[in-house]
Amino acid sequence: MLTRKQHELICFIADRLNATGVSPSFEEMKEALDLKSKSGVHRLISALEERGFLRRLPNRARALEVLRMPERSGTPGRSATAVVRKAPTRPAMPEPANDVIEIPLHGRIAAGVPIEAMEGAQMLPVPAALLGSGEHYALEVAGDSMVEAGILDGDYALIRRTETAHDGEIVVALIEDQDATLKYFHREGAMIRLDPANRSYDPQRYPAEQVRVQGRLSGLLRRY
């Protein structure tokens, strides 16, 4: 069952694809749905992806594919039943545009010795194709302890906000509620081991109660 805004968005995208063969830009979708920001569009698209109505083609920021459509009659978000029909056929895939989403940029994070992660009011524009579902923020990497994982000093780490992690994932770990670091996450009984990706650095071990996961790495943005 779709919300009213989700229903409006899937219909708007399908109508545009049917008419022109080109999916609308994030700005056009924002204006059509009277939303305040492109991040609202991103959340709606992610929800439609999770429900199997929409698909974003990889490496094509503006390439949206409608997989199925809800019945347009009735009031979306109130009916318990929905009749699903196949999405209309459309012309060949258009060239992608450079749609971006602005996510919060929360200062610098150490990829070496833990340093304080400073909260900031800046926003970082990120290509929409780099982000999946969920809430994201960015941190500027400081240090070289993750170079063997391809994470360099000055990169922007794109972080999916979460409080849980599996062994082997790269996470933002907050240590004793004051220092944050970007490392591989491992559990060792009552301890947490944070591994670097640089042989010059040693693993860091802390009691589990001193470590809180703040997010998982979902991508990198590098400026040349």
Residue of 23, 25, 39, 145 marked active site = 145
**Residue 5: active-site member:** no
**Residue 183: active-site member:** yes
Q: What are phi and psi of 50, to 5 degrees?
A: -65, -30
Residue of 23, 30, 183, 218 marked active site = 183
Token pair in block for residue 45: 């698209």
Give the residue numbers marked as catalytic. 145, 183
